Structure 1
């Protein structure tokens, strides 16, 4: 299928579609674009000028390929004048017919999913004798037979250059400027049907139409009408663009008020629900699209509405753009949102949907009893500093319920200390803070105090999920020299069992460890704790923005906090000191001027966030692939994860273009009692998103800055300042990286709401997401409004590598854990050479209130069963948990209590640290998972608390049912020495 463009000029107007060849071509060999030209008679040389109006800046540096009517490449080709406006060629035409001239052929190297596409430079392939015969005289070439240009073609409609990408010629630009000699800023209104794509020059249609004029379009009642005004600054930079709107006057004195109009480029509502404004400048020679939106009332009277918008800038006379909007009698469906190409969804960019302090399940309202704040399973008692004096966890070690006695986490109150020549001064106030309720899900407090020579102001909050946020401002009244400002977190020794972060992978908490700031690493905190009580902390700059992740960290790394880092003097020390475990975050010596303020921001989270629910986990059997639903059901799975690059979800992170197919699939699944979740994150966006030109117009609010490159479509249709991301060669889907915090998050939330209402999705499969907990909370709230029990699972490849800044995936995403249901960690996680502590803290999710599954090489099934983890069905040929599922069902695992090896009084133990046991306890029988970390074959005798199991030892048998690819059938007596191979184990039934 070809995309064809109309050509200007009398000769071009005579070309008809019937003259176009119907030959498809291989883009990998020839590129995506060509012109065709007819040669009436065979000739040793013919001349042609292609009016290609190219948008690439240097066409003279790119090769051209000519093929004959037989499809063979013509070697004898000479290049004449080559520029953006046109290309002059002479080529040998051995036969009459239609010749094809490919003018952006490319080479693709590197990984297929991250291709490196380059455009070869011109290469002389012509025979020297032919060149001497033809000559290189441009005037003589004009006397050669002339090939007649038939038209432009693209390899497909999507790759085709639009009318907005056909550049104006220098002659046309000069004429336009001559007719607007006094203008510093030229305006070009455009409908949404013609998104502005070029930012370094203007299109042919603007040059021929001229600047200014009225904007007119048609819309329905209740429709959200998007449109553009292109700004071009040909002579000099234009600063501080402003837009104002007037009421639209309609029939019979009807009015659409000015407040129904907005300009997205000048600001809006950010991802956190706060209004913001943006300064827009137009650089010399550049084009700046301004995207507008008009919210037409549902009760608008049909007819023509007339008004205007005014565009001004510093030192530039204001210019009016008349508006004429014809409102039809019919009513729009959902503002037009059901048709993505209408771009009505741009209104989603400023959405505040689910931006509130309401609760999501299972969290409970924050309670306030004096200075003690209560949340699900945890209490925080505030000190006079506003910092925690004590944190209590009510979770039990099994992580399935609550203990009779709480676990105190702190050995002493946390302190922020200022040290100078006079000594050490703790931040404090005269009174404990008064706590204010913002809603059931959040409280906040503020104190004003001092820390020796510094005045301190603390603004803090606690949310229902366990997140404590602190913004601490320290101000000097007079010049002062300080030797340190530090935070002390004295944890109880029994709580500080495990640690991850600060450059360490999950393991036993170190006895003594020091860390310093380094921008090469995405590290600003750690998690320290045990299964039922832990603390995550992060040290932040007041202007913190989430870094990029998953291969892209170094392109937007962590902002080193001015206060904590202090020019490389700051760091963190972890030290076990008797019965307490001291965390000291220090910033080192410095001088402060009178009136200077330093911000020491801290984010902490108290874990676990919620109890684990093994019964629900074992009952939901995942199939991770698009496939036939009846086959999936026969395999025993009831939750289907649909990736992108599938027939019903073809485009990465843009699941709206095959909505009917997706709805039909999900309806069929629901009829079979199954659930369907889709891949949809915000880390990157597909080039198929119709909103992409508008997102480019916002600079780097949504699209991350980068060096461009990547797949051919990105290089040919974007403006070069982006980071190329995932590419699917099978359907030519390419993506670019999004910024970590932007209004695209608002769009995403509205999109999920639309999918839940209109398509019926049951949840999300998240793959290394790039948003923070603010958006994650909204995700959960939106899905929970439409589904009684939405399902959200999170996958991550291990981020612990130089490319990703050596960040632990669990720590990177811990802020999201309260709002998801399951983990799938993941590629590059090591299931063989890592310790049980690593498994527990880095992969299982259990200390945080989650359970998960394994991925890399299908995991280790024996060790996995210690944590309730299997591989996931459908993902790979070797991934087959069905034999284990069969054993689960025969045993009745959903009715069992899971008691992990980490529980100090677990009823089945091995007495060894390198062979561990987890029990699944039912009335009258128990399933025991054994797994070995011993380097050689070994044996183990089980230590069983018969009373705890409710069993009589003399009447029991210990059997290993045969499980395909897991274990042979075997029988043991309870006291027997059970053999274990290295890295393997058993599932034993005691009954």
Structure 2
């Protein structure tokens, strides 16, 4: 009987004995060109004679349809491709390859998964080469009748990361059947497995499991005191299994106990990203493998010794399978749960973290104050009506956005209200208010409820406001009788002064149109609301389904779009009209005709954000100058920058959104930067996750919780190790970093918060650079809390590519991410933003951040330096060659812009204007001097004169001088009189200093 066994050498290398032949699984880092030959090869040695060598390869491949992939044979001595090759047979278990030994005796390489990348460089489509016929007819005839054996010496991968060994080396069908036959009548088999060997294959057993001829009934491992210990139970279903769970017993050792309460299974239980208990149902299809990742929190005061207990795997209606656990606890104590060793899966506990969930007020915001039915927050107030809806919303920001005044800016002309209209007769159903009741009054959150009713309809309102100005409304409508309705609509009546601009619902940011109409189209458009406002007073509102799930964004909206609200959408009958009605600019949010049976319930949920969020911190803009590139620190300091953004794909942060592998190099860089007075922020978000994450396969075991379902494909590593059912994301070809799209809001956000806390406390990062955002405001608040903990600066800047396109669902970046704006320090909008063709109101609303209390920078092609200065923006070093901001930074410093008052062209109080309304001016005012930015949106070069309010400017006109300083690539030096005509080129402008 032929012997077959597999053993492990040095943890990662091993051998399979098959047909009395030893197979080594090795790696040879970058020993060949993987971009053309693939990631795997078989090393064979030929010692025979003749023109035909035969290699019988027990490769035990996990990939399906192996016969459809090309075989390439290479002569190791010459490096040349062998053309005379004949495939005798290929399947997943074994391949028999005959080839011409062109150099006679020696070594030959057989590449069995060659591929090439097609499509975009950063979104490649890995395509496996099809079989080809290159052998001559003469040699093929000879190969059919004669051969000499070539011995398989090794199965080799391009590097260890690409290796299939040991968990992706499949058991043969015969071996699997033999093992299964020993469990006749059993519904499933359980294979305990160590954490170092993540279970990877859902449809095959690894040979590592079957070589013993049976599954182990006892799991033995070693851990330290205080460790977040983890292990796996691989459930192999022999029939369909429902509701699989793991039940733990206490672990005991000589009177000492580790309680079962310290144990958990991440696949079935945990805490959701929004701090709610999470219970998942795990079903396992017949013939598939489900890893159950289990954890034990080892107490720091646990006595050393060998602890024994059980883990029982149960499925609905079936007898349990028991695994005996023997855990040796050493005398060593591990700090922080061992999270400094993430390759040991010690950070899986982070998935259930509740860190920073308390809704504590975050600076600069202030505690909410309730006075009767009025709630006050930083720079804003909301007065509630008896029905729980807003009666009035006010802001107190000045038009310049530099201070908070005592005079209120009313946003509404009358309360926000619902109209419920009967179909027959068109009569409105009047609801009687039954009173308002506050249910929670805390510094960070105030909640309330109210009830209104008629004989036919009842409306129950539950709502809350948070300290940053976010309101969530759940409006439950219940039919008390059968009713036929022509419409259920919500009216938001804006004052004209608070509705100058509009952004969203397919409307580009800018001046609000006089008459606007919109209809639901969730299949194509990520649109459910808009921002309507002025610079110092406004509202963003969104209409939500009660089962609302945040859709995917940034190129992936169409793969997980919005859920059409049953209420607001009403089978696409709903929509929004915005137009003047009387004194109001009325946002009419209608849902259209419908009937309700007695007892039917509809939820007309919506959210509100009261803008702006805070005053503008102009000094932060002038002091903090970003260098957006990994570079020599002295070079950066000498350039005049003060904050460095470190992207992924850099030596100290190579893997996208997983900055935990090269953290020591990152810390060394940051420590040196701090000594030079520089701050360092890193790229880190959750939209996609590097395939280099240690927890990749543990996360895959959670189904679609963390990784989004999809068509698979992408870079070869993903296809070879993840197989299918994922969305391939950003790829960095230089380092072969292939990311996978996150599914949306899930427990990975808990891990993300913990990770950011760890990086802040242990590596010293000064904040994060967000490249678009794939999480909601709950996670953003948590991130801001951990980043600013213990006095850390916690600087967050947000970049976005323009989202107004098909792949992104035609949304506006500022509208999409407005819920995050309260916690940002700067915007960088962004790629595909057109700074040349778009009008000034677009700059103000979509790019600058000013109506929300923020400032920004320009990106695409370096921006427009003249127009940017109207809003206090420059480009960012050293992003483009077209626009070097250092020359404008020098003007700032020479003038002494720090401490100046920014009075923008949008303010009625701006003391300098021009004689052409298409040539705008913004003033940066100091005692006795002013820096005046002028920029043109006129269609051609035009002459203008300055209209100066000298008294408001605080300068004596008789003694004033007006100078345009020399600025490289911006303007020539020149002096002017107040009455001079000033030529302003199309799309350009000037910086003038008035003293």
| Structure 1 length-normalised TM | 0.97
- Conserved in 1, the CA contact under 8 Å of 2:268 and 2:279? yes
Q: Does 1:26 align with 2:33?
A: yes
Q: Does 1:604 align with 2:613?
A: no
Q: Does 1:223 align with 2:227?
A: yes
- Conserved in 2, the CA contact under 8 Å of 1:220 and 1:329? yes
Output the aligned Cα RMSD.
1.6
Q: Does 1:379 align with 2:386?
A: no
Alpha-carbon offset, residue 829 of structure 1: 0.4
**Aligned residue among 500, 505, 511 for 2:503:** 500
The 1:3/1:309 distance shift into structure 2, 3 A limit, reads: closer
Q: Distance in 2 between matches of 1:438 and 1:155?
A: 60
Gaps of 5+ in 1: none
CA displacement 1:227-256 (0-9 Å, x = unmatched): 10011113x2111112211100023x0000
Q: Does 1:910 align with 2:917?
A: no
Q: Distance in 1 between matches of 2:165 and 2:607?
A: 48
Aligned ranges for residues 970-981 of structure 1 at < 5 Å?
970-981=974-985
Q: Distance in 2 between matches of 1:983 and 1:941?
A: 17
CA displacement 1:429-482 (0-9 Å, x = unmatched): 535412233521101001121256211111100011101100111011222111
Aligned ranges for residues 249-648 of structure 1 at < 5 Å?
249-251=252-254, 253-420=255-422, 421=424, 423-425=426-428, 428-450=431-453, 453-519=456-522, 520-648=524-652
Residue number in structure 2 paired with 1:122: 131
Alpha-carbon offset, residue 949 of structure 1: 1.1
Q: Distance in 2 between matches of 1:878 and 1:468?
A: 43
Residue number in structure 2 paired with 1:941: 945
Aligned ranges for residues 800-819 of structure 1 at < 5 Å?
800-819=804-823
Aligned ranges for residues 139-218 of structure 1 at < 5 Å?
144-209=147-212, 210-218=214-222
Secondary structure at the residue paired with 1:901?
coil
- Conserved in 2, the CA contact under 8 Å of 1:4 and 1:154? no
Residue number in structure 2 paired with 1:691: 695
CA displacement 1:387-433 (0-9 Å, x = unmatched): 10100110111011112311111001110121103555467553541
Residue number in structure 1 paired with 2:5: none
- Conserved in 1, the CA contact under 8 Å of 2:670 and 2:679? yes
Q: Distance in 1 between matches of 2:780 and 2:794?
A: 13
Q: Distance in 2 between matches of 1:874 and 1:368?
A: 48
CA displacement 1:81-121 (0-9 Å, x = unmatched): 21111111111112110110111100111111100111122
Alpha-carbon offset, residue 562 of structure 1: 0.7
- Conserved in 2, the CA contact under 8 Å of 1:221 and 1:329? yes
Alpha-carbon offset, residue 594 of structure 1: 1.5
Residue number in structure 1 paired with 2:85: 77
Residue number in structure 2 paired with 1:863: 867
- Conserved in 2, the CA contact under 8 Å of 1:7 and 1:13? no
Alpha-carbon offset, residue 990 of structure 1: 0.4
Secondary structure at the residue paired with 1:174?
helix
| Structure 2 length-normalised TM | 0.97
Q: Distance in 2 between matches of 1:660 and 1:21?
A: 26
Secondary structure at the residue paired with 2:15?
coil
Residue number in structure 2 paired with 1:134: 143
Q: Distance in 1 between matches of 2:228 and 2:644?
A: 35
Q: Distance in 1 between matches of 2:176 and 2:48?
A: 37
CA displacement 1:290-321 (0-9 Å, x = unmatched): 00110000000011111111111123211111
Alpha-carbon offset, residue 41 of structure 1: 3.2
Alpha-carbon offset, residue 950 of structure 1: 1.0
Aligned ranges for residues 884-895 of structure 1 at < 5 Å?
884-895=888-899
Secondary structure at the residue paired with 1:895?
coil
Residue number in structure 2 paired with 1:38: 45
- Conserved in 1, the CA contact under 8 Å of 2:413 and 2:495? yes
The 1:395/1:432 distance shift into structure 2, 3 A limit, reads: farther
The 1:21/1:921 distance shift into structure 2, 3 A limit, reads: closer
Question: 771-780 vs 155-164, which deviates more?
Answer: 155-164
- Conserved in 1, the CA contact under 8 Å of 2:644 and 2:680? yes
Gaps of 5+ in 2: 1-9
Alpha-carbon offset, residue 864 of structure 1: 0.1
Residue number in structure 2 paired with 1:843: 847
Q: Distance in 1 between matches of 2:295 and 2:177?
A: 33
Q: Distance in 2 between matches of 1:429 and 1:533?
A: 31
Alpha-carbon offset, residue 61 of structure 1: 1.1
Question: 580-589 vs 414-423, which deviates more?
Answer: 414-423
- Conserved in 2, the CA contact under 8 Å of 1:368 and 1:435? no
Question: 447-456 vs 374-383, which deviates more?
Answer: 447-456
Q: Distance in 2 between matches of 1:963 and 1:751?
A: 44
Secondary structure at the residue paired with 1:305?
strand
- Conserved in 2, the CA contact under 8 Å of 1:624 and 1:875? yes
Q: Does 1:113 align with 2:115?
A: no
Residue number in structure 2 paired with 1:762: 766
- Conserved in 2, the CA contact under 8 Å of 1:841 and 1:847? yes
**Aligned residue among 74, 77, 90 for 2:98:** 90
- Conserved in 2, the CA contact under 8 Å of 1:5 and 1:153? no
Alpha-carbon offset, residue 803 of structure 1: 1.1
Alpha-carbon offset, residue 784 of structure 1: 1.4
Q: Distance in 2 between matches of 1:10 and 1:688?
A: 32
Alpha-carbon offset, residue 80 of structure 1: 1.8
Q: Distance in 1 between matches of 2:744 and 2:678?
A: 33
Alpha-carbon offset, residue 694 of structure 1: 0.4
Q: Does 1:9 align with 2:17?
A: yes
Residue number in structure 2 paired with 1:57: 64
Alpha-carbon offset, residue 22 of structure 1: 9.3
Q: Distance in 2 between matches of 1:725 and 1:121?
A: 25
CA displacement 1:932-961 (0-9 Å, x = unmatched): 000111011111111111111011111000
Alpha-carbon offset, residue 790 of structure 1: 1.9
Q: Does 1:47 align with 2:66?
A: no
Alpha-carbon offset, residue 46 of structure 1: 1.3
Alpha-carbon offset, residue 10 of structure 1: 5.8
- Conserved in 1, the CA contact under 8 Å of 2:461 and 2:475? yes
- Conserved in 2, the CA contact under 8 Å of 1:5 and 1:151? no
- Conserved in 1, the CA contact under 8 Å of 2:455 and 2:480? no
The 1:851/1:50 distance shift into structure 2, 3 A limit, reads: same
- Conserved in 2, the CA contact under 8 Å of 1:554 and 1:805? yes
Secondary structure at the residue paired with 1:775?
helix
